[in-house]
A = this chain, B = another copy of it.
Amino acid sequence: MNEALIASTQGDTLITTVMAAIRQRIASRSLTPGARLPSVRALAASMSVSKSTVVEAYERLAAEGVIRSRPGSGFYVAAPVAPLSLADIGPRLDREVDPLWISRQSLDAGDTMLKPGCGWLPASWMPHEALRRGLRTLSRHGDATLVDYGTPLGLRALRELLARRMGEHNVAVAPDQIMLTESGTQAIDMICRYLLDSGDTVLVDDPCYFNFHALLRAHRAKVVSAPYRPDGPDIERLAVILEEHRPRLYLTNSGIHNPTGASLSPVTAHRLLKLAEQYDLIIVEDDIFADFEIMPAPRLAAFDGLERVITIGSFSKTLSASVRCGYIAAKPEWVEGLVDLKIATSFGGSHFAEALVLAVLTDGGYRKHLEGLRTRLARSMAETVARLEESGIVPWLTPQAGMFLWCRLPEGIDAGKVARQALAEGIVLAPGNAFSLSQTANGFMRFNVAQSGDSRIYRLLEAALSG
């Protein structure tokens, strides 16, 4: 090797070293996007290299798009090119037990797949006759229902009906404290956007509905969890977590808890609200399973009077998931700001969907449909419990109502592994850790009793459990 080549190779090594140092500072975020890089002179001095080495390193990084030069004012860290990836936020999970992945599998599954892991009833259980009657009624409505934007709060008659329904649960609420949304999920999303600041912490149950995890990732919130017990959250643990993490929001279900099927007891509700007041915690009470209840559980909103509790709900589980309509009930000061946010981010609501939901809810057949659903679910619950127990799978508790059974698998069985095996055979299961922030539920699985009638499910489970 001649001397010039040796010198050039050494120069190259130094340039590479400078480049690596800058890349490392960007990766560790000691230099953030848009930040100005050290001047050529300063970096040369601090790294004991020549200025021309730094210039060459900066130019190569600029050519790679890592940094950008702004003539006359130096070099800057380029904007990140990677958009938000929900899969990369939060603890890294097996793709097969990732909450989003289960949702996508369930939503994408054709009619040939079995879905004991999904969170909805079979289409044939839903009130299609009432929906068909509703459609025919709406086809005779005035033009406005069919073509105009909805009002900011949403259809008044539907809000009045919701206020009456909440009144039956002892929640006193005026129709103008209710804002209609496009779904229950969108309702929670909007509350998070409204109330969370960057860096805020949110408390969830462990286990909880897996899409809460996905939603909170989208908000880049810090998430903490408290164990859920058969009568509500573990109050002693909750007190410790509130003291330590000061979460701003707590997302929970009181009626029928997802995935456990548990119901909040009055004493736990009372203790929870006292803690919430002490620690200035806002509670989002997701009431999406209300219509399945036979013996209504107490509502946090009823004790609290919608002071620090916000109730959300939708009609996806008992009326239609295809016609999207949800709601938020909150204190008047918050409704104002939520309406602004709704207009900014989705302009109007689904005027048509609101009118159709109202038509079905006021259809004489809807109450009968609910009674039929509850009876049918109770029967399926008993059958599913019996069939699962034959395979050694035992419910954590027997829910009073609803579609979910939260079950413990036999000792040593890995729910994620069983779910992967099942998927290969066309069965979507819901392994416990998808619901668990602490990742301590790998011995559990959630079953939807309305989707668990097929013998192939039990054959698969028996095969998987036996080895």
Q: What 1/0 mask marks residues of chain A from 113 to 124 whose CB sits below 8 Å from any chain B CB?
A: 000000010011
Residues of chain B with a CB closer than 8 A to A189's CB: 344-346
A334-366: contact bitstring with B at CB < 8 Å (1 yes, 0 no)? 100101110111111111110110000000000
B70, B143, B182: which contacts A324 (Cβ < 8 A)?
B182
Chain B residue numbers with a CB within 8 Å of A85 are 337, 340
With beta carbons under 8 angstroms apart, the residue of B148, B152, B184, B347 that contacts A185 is: B347
Are A148 and B321 neighbours in the complex by a CB distance under 8 Å? yes
Q: Which stretch (A195-203, A374-382, A435-443, A458-466) binds chain B?
A: A195-203
Contact of A218 among B136, B142, B345 (CB under 8 A): B345
A456 lies within 8 A of chain B by Cβ: no
A413 part of interface (Cβ distance < 8 Å): no
- Report the minimum CB–CB distance from A352 to chain B (whole Å): 4
Evaluate contact between A348 and B324: CB separation under 8 angstroms: yes
Within 8 Å by CB of A135, from B138, B152, B195, B351, lies B138
**Contact residues, A287-325 vs B (CB, 8 A):** 316, 319-324
Complex CA gap A320/B138 in Å reads 14
A150 interface residue per 8 A CB criterion:
yes
Q: How far is the CB of A300 from chain B (nearest CB, A)?
A: 19
Q: Which residues of B contact A199 (CB under 8 A)?
A: 33-34
Tell me, in angstroms, the Cα distance from A84 to B195 when the chains sit together: 6
Q: Which of B197, B211, B243 contacts A33 (CB 8 A)?
A: B197
Query: In this assembly, does A103 line the interface, its C-beta being within 8 Å of a C-beta of chain B?
Result: yes
Report the stretch among A74-82, A251-259, A398-406, A425-433 that lies at the interface: A74-82
* Min distance, Cβ A196 to any Cβ of chain B, angstroms: 8
Asked if B218 contacts A193 (CB within 8 A), the reply is yes
Q: Which of A204-261 contact B (CB under 8 A)?
A: 211, 214-215, 217-218, 243, 246, 248
- A61-105 interface (Cβ within 8 A of B): 65, 68, 70, 76, 78-81, 83-87, 100, 103-104
Which of B135, B198, B215 is within 8 Å of A198, CB to CB?
A: B198
Whether, in the assembled complex, A132 has its beta carbon less than 8 Å from a beta carbon of chain B, the answer is yes
Partner of A100, one of B143, B185, B340: B340
Which residue of B is nearest A246, CB measured? B79
Give the shortest distance, in Å, between A64 (CB) and chain B (any CB): 12
Check A182–B346 contact: CB distance below 8 A. Answer: yes
Report if A448 contacts B (CB, 8 A): no
Determine the residue in chain B with the shortest Cβ distance to A334: B83
**With A79-B200, A182-B346, A334-B83: A214-B340 Cβ-Cβ less than 8 Å:** yes
Q: Smallest CB–CB gap between A321 and chain B, Å?
A: 4
Interface contact A145-B322, CB-CB below 8 Å: yes
Beta-carbon nearest neighbor of A243 in chain B: B70
Contact A321 to B147, CB < 8 A, known contacts A107-B348, A218-B193: yes
Partner of A146, one of B80, B185, B322: B322
Q: Is A165 an interface residue (CB 8 A)?
A: no
Q: Does A186 contact B (CB under 8 A)?
A: yes
- A367 is an interface residue with CB less than 8 A from chain B: no
Our pick among B146, B217, B243, B352 for the contact of A132 (Cβ within 8 Å) is B146
Q: How far is the CB of A398 from chain B (nearest CB, A)?
A: 28
- On whether the beta carbons of A147 and B126 are closer than 8 Å, the reply is yes
Interface pairs (22), CB distance under 8 Å:
A70-B243, A79-B246, A84-B194, A84-B195, A84-B341, A107-B149, A107-B150, A120-B148, A123-B148, A131-B147, A135-B139, A136-B139, A148-B321, A182-B324, A182-B350, A185-B345, A211-B344, A214-B343, A214-B344, A215-B344, A322-B355, A352-B353
